[in-house]
Chains A and B, each alone.
Chain A
């Protein structure tokens, strides 16, 4: 158990809909990262928040957005969903702002299925 929690575990929805994925970091960790893992693209970094502010951006679509709240939990919002958004979404956390020696701790993931 990494100490990172994600809800829900599974989510099934239809194309065009909007969903929200939630992540609670390990106690004391200030950074939250979001990753998408699909069969054809592998594990891809989406976005990082550090202490409430966006710190780094990866391959995140404009239809996706995230935020980190004062209690440090984070939400990833996915809108206008398409079939290709079906994937595993992982959240990770780290103590610092993401230095090159930081260790990231991953949650168990949310499996999103878009029908």
Chain B
């Protein structure tokens, strides 16, 4: 079983829809959870990170961690064509530790 699993997509949704992106993981010791966004021909950029369980909200984006299920989610409300990108989840055990990246989900928001 891979440490971090992420559906590669592509995921296509109409503009204005709520998007749900997910990752599962196998290492119960992970405590730091991140979401990166990567536009075409660009490097990944940090979108959000959370520590331990719970939700974190930033504008239209909500990151959710369910440690009991080893499952993390990123929700995008009122999706826009500019949200079209690849979204990578990432996680680590300690705050200084090596980051394990998911392979990314390609998202297309249709105007």
Q: Do A and B bind each other?
A: no
What is the interface of chain A, defined by CB distance below 8 A to chain B? none
What is the interface of chain B, defined by CB distance below 8 A to chain A? none
